[in-house]
Structure 1
Amino acid sequence: MSHNHNHSHEVQGKNLLFSIILNVVITLAQLIGGIVSGSLALISDALHNFSDVLSLVFSFVAHKLSRRKASLNQTFGLKRAEILAAFVNAATLIIVAFILIYGAIERFFNPQAIESKLVIWLALLGIVVNGFSVLLLKNDADKNLNMKSAYLHLLTDMMASVAVLVGGLLMLFYEIYWIDSVMTLLIAIYLIVVGFDLLKKATKILMLFTPDAINIKEIIKEVHKIKGVNKLHHIHVWHLNEEELHLEAHLDCSEDIKMSEFNNLLQEIEDLLLVKFEINHTNIQPEFKREDPKDYIVQD
């Protein structure tokens, strides 16, 4: 069994903690400002920011839990905590989006005068704070699905603040108050798009789907080139988390070899799987003319 873990994907939880503090401040400011000004887009932005605070806290806790060591009761540790956090965060993005859509449609038919100057200043504050948070998490987001979910929350918040700013300027100079509802709808649509994509990725990992980048037929083809291999079958390939890609299979050997010889054969297979397919955790059951299903994929 191979354990070749790549630690180049380590992420920094301190950046996430700092982003949480910044977002608590901006959430309170936008909520108060939205109530005072009467801006639905600003209140919507504050609501989205509040969901960000919750998601960032969840991501931070999950990040810490995922580093917990394995035990007799948790043989994998809590390595999937970050994937679960990404799933929940993606779901909250979509839920918040539908709440915003409902509010925007209701306000569209009942437009209200809005204190646009306050909206503009708070939108600028949101752009600065969320923009800084986005920069903090940019590097980690490229390496980790949990961090990407937090990053997307912050990125959409920054975009929402830009939309609120544009709406505020149009209201200030042209008194087009229905633009507040339109901007809210645009924010919501974008949330649904990015949230669905993230939700799909997290779901695939949680459901143990074969990773998109993995071609099982290609794995079989390459392994069968190795001398001593008769048939690789009963194959499972899945992500435990984003750093660990697992393969489990039965290997029917072409000869009745000794265990020491199988060790050499196994090492050759592990090296191939790691180098060519980036599979860093391999568990192979040796067999020789054993009477069991020899299909590549077997329904357990």
Structure 2
Amino acid sequence: MSEHGHVHIHKHEVSGKNLLFTIGLNIVITLAQVVGGILSGSLSLISDALHNFSDVLSLLFSYFAHKLSRRKASINQTFGYKRAEIMAAFVNAATLIVVAIFLIIEAIDRFSNPHPIASGLVIWLSLLGIAANGLSAYMLKQDAGKSINMRSAYLHLFTDTLASVAVLLGGLAMKFFNWFWMDSLMTLIIALYLVFVGYDLLKASTRMLMLFTPVHIDIKAIVREVHKIPGVKKLHHIHVWHLNDEELHLEAHLDCAEDIKMSEFNELLHEVEWVLFNKFNINHINIQPEYSKEDPKDFIVQD
């Protein structure tokens, strides 16, 4: 028999309206930059447009994942769709890296085969990109700290803003100095930055999807604190994982020091829940009570 403890927490309400607005804005930017990139011959402008197009797809994915995550649990989906946002973050991070690799290949090719570029068009469209992407990123900044999904959407938009700044600098250099190689250089810088931010997000979302112990959690520290509670003999068979950004789960076996009644175990469980929530911010706790049961007593057991 196991006992389940659920510490109720205040859920951060993330608005999907801002996300929907940024999707529309990014569609407009993408179309403008694709046309402008073709007319001007600028690879950096096309790369920025390609990045914006990946944003449109990732923002759409983020929006639907956000909606799904708010659905209630059911008999067939006992956790609901709470992990949808983590999956969206993973896909968004992966697309950032794929786009970056494509841009790096194209930029290297352009270094050996430079093309004349209509720099005036590049400058005006990069200014449009800075304004639109900057506004979009600003609208999602507050929500970025509340959800890994929103953080992935925000990072897409923030890197787009930086990419547009890089395109602007390249456009100015081409207009005033005829440095057409700057177009390839700016593309390469944008792509390398995409790899940098995409890798961190990909690593974080992968850890959550694989149910790895969160990086800030020390299993041994949890054991030390729980073992201080009178009546506890040993905490073992421990698993700690993130269901989503808000819910941190722990399941374990608790070997009691004495053969106590269930009502007494309930009091012991309450103390364990208090320690786990207040010292480690673990808000979903599932404990299996034991007394002198013959089984492995390791902290982590290969089930």
TM more than 0.5: yes
Q: Output the amino acid matched with 1:247.
A: L
CA–CA distance in structure 1, aligned partners of residues 161 and 8 of structure 2: 35
Number of residue-to-residue matches in the alignment: 300
- Partner of 2:177 in structure 1? 174
Q: Is residue 302 of structure 2 the alignment partner of residue 299 of structure 1?
A: yes
Deviation at 1:4, TM superposition (A): 2.1
Q: Among 21, 42, 46, which residue is 2:45 paired with?
A: 42
Deviation at 1:102, TM superposition (A): 0.9
Corresponding residue number in structure 1 for 2:255: 252
Counterpart residue number, 2:67: 64
| Equivalent residue, structure 2, for 1:3 | 6
Letter in 1 for 2:165: V
> Which residue of structure 1 aligns with residue 238 of structure 2?
235
Matched residues, percent identical? 71
Q: Deviations over 1:175-218 (max 9, x none)?
A: 11011000000000000000000000000000011001111111
Alpha-carbon offset, residue 8 of structure 1: 4.2
Q: Note if 1:216 corresponds to 2:219.
A: yes
* Aligned with 1:123 (options 114, 126, 134): 126
Q: Spell out the pairing of 1:92-131 with structure 2 (5 A cutoff).
A: 92-131=95-134
Letter in 1 for 2:255: D
- In 2, are the aligned partners of 1:113 and 1:177 still within 8 Å (CA)? yes
Judge conservation of contact 1:5–1:243 (CA < 8 Å) in 2.
Answer: no
Q: Deviations over 1:230-277 (max 9, x none)?
A: 000010000011100000000000010000000110011111111110
Residue 9 of structure 1, CA deviation = 2.3
* Pair 292,202 (structure 1): closer, same or farther in 2 beyond 3 Å: same
Q: Report the secondary structure of 1:289's partner residue.
A: coil
Partner of 2:279: 276
The reply on whether 1:140 has 2:143 as its aligned counterpart is: yes
How far off its partner does 1:63 sit? 0.4
Of the candidates 172, 184, 207, which is equivalent to residue 210 of structure 2?
207
The equivalent residue for 1:51 is 54
Q: Aligned partners of 1:129 and 1:229: how far apart in 2?
A: 58
Quote the Cα distance in structure 1 between the aligned partners of 2:80 and 2:58.
22
Counterpart residue type for residue 28 of structure 1: L
- For the 8 Å contact 1:101–1:184, the answer to whether it is kept is yes
Match status 1:82 vs 2:82:
no
In the superposition, the TM-score normalised over structure 2's length comes to 0.98
| Aligned residues of 1:5 and 1:244 also touching (Cα < 8 A) | no
CA deviations on 1:142-175 (whole Å, 9 max, x unpaired) are 1111001000100110000000000000000001
8 Å CA contact 2:276, 2:282 repeated in 1: yes
Contact 2:11 2:246 in 1 (8 A): no
Q: Could you report, residue by residue, the CA deviation over 1:48-103 in whole angstroms, capped at 9, with x for unpaired residues? A: 00000000000000000011111111110010000000000000000000000111
- Measured on the aligned residues, the alpha-carbon RMSD in Å equals 0.7
Whether the 8 Å CA contact 2:240–2:251 is kept in 1: the answer is yes
Amino acid in the other structure paired with 2:216: A
**Partner AA of 1:214 in structure 2:** I
Q: Mark the runs of 5 or more structure 2 residues left unpaired by the alignment.
A: none
Match of 2:30 in 1: 27
Mapped to 2, the partners of 1:6 and 1:131 lie a distance apart of 33
Deviations 1:100-120 (A, max 9, x none): 011111111111111100000
Partner residue in 2 for 1:226: 229
Distance across 1 between alignment mates of 2:260 and 2:6: 24
Distance, in Å, in 2 between the alignment partners of 1:161 and 1:5 is 43
